[in-house]
Amino acid sequence: MTADSVTDLDDRFDGTWSNPRGFRGFFSVVQHKDVGMRYMVTAFVLFLIGGVQAMFLRVQLAQPENDFLGPETYNELFTMHGTTMMFLFAIPFLEGLASYLLPLMIGSRDLPFPRYNVFNYWCYLLGGLILYSSFLFALVPDAGWFSYVPLSGPDFADRSMDFWLFGLTLAEIAAVGAAIEISVAILRTRAPGMTLNRMPIFAWTMLAVAFLIIVAFVPLIVASVLLELDRAVGTAFFDINAGGSPLLWQHLFWIFGHPEVYVMFLPGAAIISHVIPAHSGRPLVAYPLVVVALASTAVMSLGLWVHHMYTTGLPSLTMSFFTAASMSITLASGLQVFAWIATLWLGKPRFTVPMLYSLGFVVTFVLGGITGVMVASVALDTQVHDTYFVVAHFHYVLIGGMLFPVFAALHHWWGKVTGRHYARRPAVIAFWLVFVGFHVTFFPMHLSGLWGMPRRVYTYEQELGVGLVNLISTVGAFVIAAGVVLLTVNLVISHRRGAPVGVETGDSLEWTTSSPPPSENWRRIPMVTSRNPGWDRDEPVDADTRAALDEAFDARPVEFRATPLTTVLSAEPDGAVLLPRSTYWPLVTPVGLAILAVALLTQWYPLSAVGVVVGIVGLAGWAWRNESEYRVEHVRPLAGRFQFEAHGTRSIGWWAAASASIVIVVAVATLTFSALYLQVNASVWPLEDTVGEPVRFTAVAAALLAGLGVTWRAARQGRHELWDLSRPEVRRAQFIAVAVAMCAAVIALVLLVPLWLGDLDPAAHAYESSVWTLLGAQVLAILAALAMTIAALHARMRHRRDARTGLLLHAAALLWAAAAVSWAMVWMTSDLLPRLVI
């Protein structure tokens, strides 16, 4: 090859990785750094808004019997403050950070499903806009950030609750999507050589967090849907008079809510686990133990929700189980603190700005943990439940455990992300303002709580004697605000005028690329030989693998974007992923969902049809566009070795389909749990008969198994072939499988839909409500399997080679399996188990 043609190829490589700018770029970019940055900027703006709301609250509380805000406004503001901070700032900011950093940390060129990533961002943005549009209509939600029923139910809340429910559901859909994205990225796209035992702690943590999001946020989505059904359709899930139970909302909310705290805290801790070693010049001490600590903290957080319900009258033995779990999690999360202290001890800590925030974090977190242990004991909790003691406790955990680390991260990675230095002095001053202000604000709240000041009241009487402590809190809040403003201004100015950074070093892989990183992150895919690739960059690597990787990926491929696939445990390269480029399509479906939400909010139902159509068009156009890019020239094995369309788990699509199936199963399992919970707890369950029709239900099961069977079988056909082969008999078998599966879906729907929309009266009783909803969910699960089957048909018609259709059939089979499992659960809860009780 001549030198000329090499530069020519390099130019084409750069062209492939360049992103559109300006207006077009804004709506079409899908690259992980752009999307991650957008998430973070949006979330930070919402943080400032939530902060302003907090200042209003504090001004009102500055003196007794104040009338700066009325009780209604106060309720609205604390609700919006809590909701914004938890759902629109904390979680999305961390998703954005992960979206930006993870590929850099694990050595890939993008997240595995870039378009899905931006789809999630749009859902989040539109959800936030819907929630905040409530201000325009003077219908601001006011039922608190956990919206307990009956306060939020049809009898007490006006349409403001609908804004809350729709806005949050969109934001939660985004969170679940981000979790899928993150977990597949970590499992399958790590740099060659980054075995599990060399994964950065941030990656371990995000993997655990992704797991938490999938098992905990899906229940919140389900709970929101149930509440919206109670409000809009008149179902009786939370209505005591018709067999429902308000406690169901509390269970579902806290099954989500407690893990959510850890979804915020664990990434915070992970940031600290990177900042402390990087600024002490010493690898993290006891890495395996930190992995154990964070993983068990994540798992245990799933078992703690009941401690938010100590005052609801559960049997004492039941509560003792959860107290035990609370104690265990303290142990698990405490382990990490020892690792940090040991790292500081053995290293040479430099008191940089990120380090200051880290130390602030450790101090605050330990104090918050102590009050946490206190409220986890049943005796104390019954005393201080719903007082300012609790407000103090959770702000210690949230601000100490999440906000300080986020500020540490902003400074730690600022140079990496922007390529510029921030000014140090203002940053240090901002730290002290935030840190001191924080303790001045929240420490006194412990006292006002112990002295009997309840939370969520707009004012208090002079005689309670908490005037002084409240005034101190308010002064502290202004000090925090000053710090936050200074921090923000300093960073914004440095972004424009800061001195460019030179070569920076740090422990993890992202420090080995330039600052800011190029669009493709790595021209040459890095190979990892240790836990601290940023420090050990010159270690020798295996020459054969290096050569194979370079042949395929060194500034290659030039016509399209690609990154290597590696195995889950030992990160051996075993294939490649085709990474899609910019497109508008992922924006369309979120807009459809938002239109749907607006239609339901305004009760102008014809509009909802528009929303559904836009949503479907968006998905179809997206699928069309994808298929156009899976051209045969694009999936030819790179360097003759790195395959794009290998069978089963060796293709990235399998992981997407498997994740989708898991989400479906978790959602239906949550519905099942809810239905059974109501059934067991209802005092009246006046059932003479179930909806069960043995013949019909068996026929549905048979149809679903048929769909599963044919797609599975056809997916296995031709899997031993050459990658671009097309054989008439395989082609025919694939067509037949698609046809049979589509018939099976239609049959199942024809059997179910009339039953679902027929005689059932979802408003009559919680039993019928739950059956109605379960059947509806089952219909959706079948539609998902059908859609994937149609996607396989589409691929069959567009491509000559058999492999692509085989892969999509495999994905369809996974969704068919989910539909079948979900049907087993639906059948059991709607028919088999109730029959036992009759």
Nearer to other proteins, 197 or 602 (CB): 197
Strand 561-566 relative to strand 573-579, pairing:
antiparallel
Least distance in angstroms from the C-beta of 266 to other proteins: 15
Closest Cα partner for 401 from 349, 338, 333, 448? 333
For residue 640, give both structure tokens. 């003759």
**Rounded to the nearest whole angstrom, what is the least distance from the CB of residue 420 to other proteins in the complex?**
37
Nearer to other proteins by Cβ, of 333 and 582: the residue is 333
Contacts of other proteins in 601-630 (CB under 8 A): none
* Residue 288 tokens, joined: 């395996």
DSSP single-letter state for residue 89: I
- What's the min distance (Å) between Cβ of 684 and other proteins? 9
Q: For 574, list phi and psi in degrees, rounded to 5.
A: -140, 20
CB of 308 to Cu ion, least distance (A): 5
Instruction: Pick the piece of the chain touching ligand HEM (CB under 6 A) from 163-171, 214-222, 397-405, 713-721.
Output: 397-405
* C-alpha–C-alpha distance, residues 576 and 651, integer Å: 8
* Contact map string, positions 24 to 53, toward ligand HEM, x by CB under 6 A: ---------------------------x--
Burial class (CB in 10 A: 0-12, 13-18, 19+), 574: middle
Tokens of 467: 């005037």
Calculate ∠ Cα 291-295-301, nearest 5°: 150
By the rule CB under 8 A, 332 interacts with other proteins: yes
Among the residue ranges 80-88, 302-310, 532-540, 627-635, the one whose residues contact ligand HEM (CB under 6 A):
80-88
Q: How far is the CB of 418 from ligand HEM (least distance, A)?
A: 24
Does residue 638 sit in helix, strand or coil? strand
Nearer to ligand HEM, 144 or 426 (CB): 144
Interaction residues for other proteins, span 657-686 (CB under 8 A) = 680-683
Q: How many residues in the shown chain lie near other proteins by CB under 8 A?
A: 64
Contact pattern for other proteins over residues 630 through 649, marking x by CB under 8 A: -------x--xxxx-xxx--
Reduced to 3 states (helix: H, G, I; strand: E, B; else coil), residue 420 is strand
**Can you name the residues that pair with 642 across neighbouring β-strands?**
638
Is 444 an interacting residue with respect to ligand HEM (CB under 6 A)?
no
Using CB under 8 A as the binding rule, whether residue 373 contacts other proteins is answered as no
Q: Examine residue 180 and tell whether it contacts ligand HEM (CB under 6 A).
A: no
Question: Which residue, 392 or 588, is less far from ligand HEM as judged by CB?
Answer: 392
For ligand HEM, which residue of 58, 198, 251, 647 counts as binding (CB under 6 A)? 58
Q: Mind giving me the DSSP string for 533-600?
A: TTT-TTS---HHHHHHHHHHHTT--SSSEEEEEE-TTT--EEEEEEEP---SHHHHHHHHHHHHHHHH
Binding of residue 251 to Cu ion (CB under 5 A): no
Helix axis angle, 467-497 to 424-450, nearest 10°: 160
* Shortest spacing between CB 78 and ligand HEM, in angstroms: 4
Q: Which does 90 bind (CB under 5 to 8 A by kind): Cu ion, other proteins, ligand HEM, none?
A: ligand HEM
Distance CA 371, CA 399 (A): 14
197 makes contact, choosing from other proteins, Cu ion, ligand HEM, none, with CB < 5 to 8 Å by partner type, with other proteins
Cα–Cα separations (whole angstroms), residue 164 to 143, 251, 260: 10, 19, 18
35 vs 576, which CB is nearer to other proteins?
576
How many angstroms separate the CA atoms of 809 and 789, rounded?
7
- Interface residue with other proteins, options 9, 151, 233, 292 (CB under 8 A): 292
Using the rule CB under 6 A, is 395 a contact of ligand HEM?
yes
Each residue 422-441 as x (binds ligand HEM by CB under 6 A) or -, in order, gives: -------------------x
Contact between 722 and other proteins by CB under 8 A: the answer reads yes
Task: Say how far apart CA 807 and CA 691 lie, in whole Å.
Answer: 38
* Identified binder of other proteins from the candidate list 803, 809, 817, 825, rule CB under 8 A: 803
CA 348 from chain centre, in angstroms, equals: 36
Determine the Cα–Cα distance for residues 766 and 681; give it in Å rounded to an integer.
11
Which position among 10, 386, 550, 574 is part of the footprint of other proteins (CB under 8 A)?
574
What 3 state SS string does 367-388 have? HHHHHHHHHHCHHHHHHHCCEH
With binding defined as CB under 8 A, does residue 66 bind other proteins? no
**In this complex, which beta carbon is closest to ligand HEM, that of residue 338 or of residue 478?**
478
The answer to whether the Cα torsion of 784, 785, 790, 792 is positive or negative is positive
Tell me the site size for Cu ion, rule CB under 5 A: 1
Q: Return d(Cα 639, Cα 541) in angstroms, integer.
A: 20
Query: Which residue among 275, 399, 598, 788 contacts ligand HEM (CB under 6 A)?
Result: 399
Q: Between residues 74 and 535, which has the closer beta carbon with respect to other proteins?
A: 535
**Residue choice 312, 320, 382, 603 for contact with other proteins (CB under 8 A):** 320
Task: Give which of ligand HEM, other proteins, Cu ion, none residue 548 binds (C-beta under 5 to 8 Å, depending on kind).
Answer: other proteins
Nearest to 678 by CA among 836, 832, 830, 838: 830
Contact letters for Cu ion, residues 256-285 (x by CB under 5 A)? --x---------------------------
CB closer to ligand HEM out of 360 and 534: 360
Determine the Cα–Cα distance for residues 533 and 529; give it in Å rounded to an integer: 7
Measured between alpha carbons, how far is 822 from 816 in angstroms, rounded to an integer?
10
CB of 302 to Cu ion, least distance (A): 11
Give me the amino acid identity at 420: R
The listed partner (other proteins, Cu ion, ligand HEM, none) that binds 258, CB under 5 to 8 Å by sort, is: Cu ion
**Distance spanning both ends of the chain, measured CA to CA:** 81
Using rule CB under 5 A, residue 393 touches Cu ion: no
Q: Which of 371, 374, 392 is nearest to 444 (CA)?
A: 392
Q: Which of residues 482-541 bind other proteins (CB under 8 A)?
A: 527, 541
As measured in angstroms, the least distance from the Cβ of 439 to ligand HEM is: 12
Of these partners, ligand HEM, Cu ion, other proteins, none, which one is at the site of residue 193 (CB under 5 to 8 Å by kind)? other proteins
Of the candidates 99, 92, 125, 94, the one whose C-alpha atom is nearest the C-alpha of residue 35 is 99
3-state secondary structure of 5: helix
Q: Peptide bond before 150: cis, by omega within 30 degrees of 0?
A: yes
Q: Choose which of 29, 86, 284, 782 interacts with ligand HEM (CB under 6 A).
A: 86
CA 183 to chain centre: 10
Residues 119-178 binding ligand HEM (CB under 6 A) are 144-145
Q: Give the span between the Cα atoms of 823 and 784, in whole angstroms.
A: 13
Name, in order, each residue with C-beta under 8 angstroms of 733's C-beta and a sequence gap of 6 or more: 714, 717
In whole angstroms, how close is the CB of 443 to Cu ion at the nearest point?
A: 21
Give the type of residue at 369.
Answer: G
CB of 687 to other proteins, least distance (A): 13
Q: Which amino acid is at 695?
A: V
Could you say which residues in the range 214-243 bind Cu ion, by CB under 5 A?
none
Sign of the alpha-carbon dihedral angle for 794, 795, 800, 803: negative
Partner from ligand HEM, Cu ion, other proteins, none binding residue 542, C-beta < 5-8 Å depending on class:
other proteins
Binding site for ligand HEM (CB under 6 A): 51, 54, 57-58, 78-79, 81-82, 85-86, 90, 144-145, 391, 395, 398-399, 402-403, 441, 455-456, 477, 480
Positions that interact with Cu ion (CB under 5 A): 258
What residue ranges bind other proteins (CB under 8 A)? 192-193, 195-197, 288-289, 291-292, 295-296, 299-300, 302-303, 306, 314-318, 320-322, 324-325, 327-328, 331-332, 527, 541-542, 544-545, 547-548, 567, 569-575, 637, 640-643, 645-647, 650, 680-683, 719-723, 803
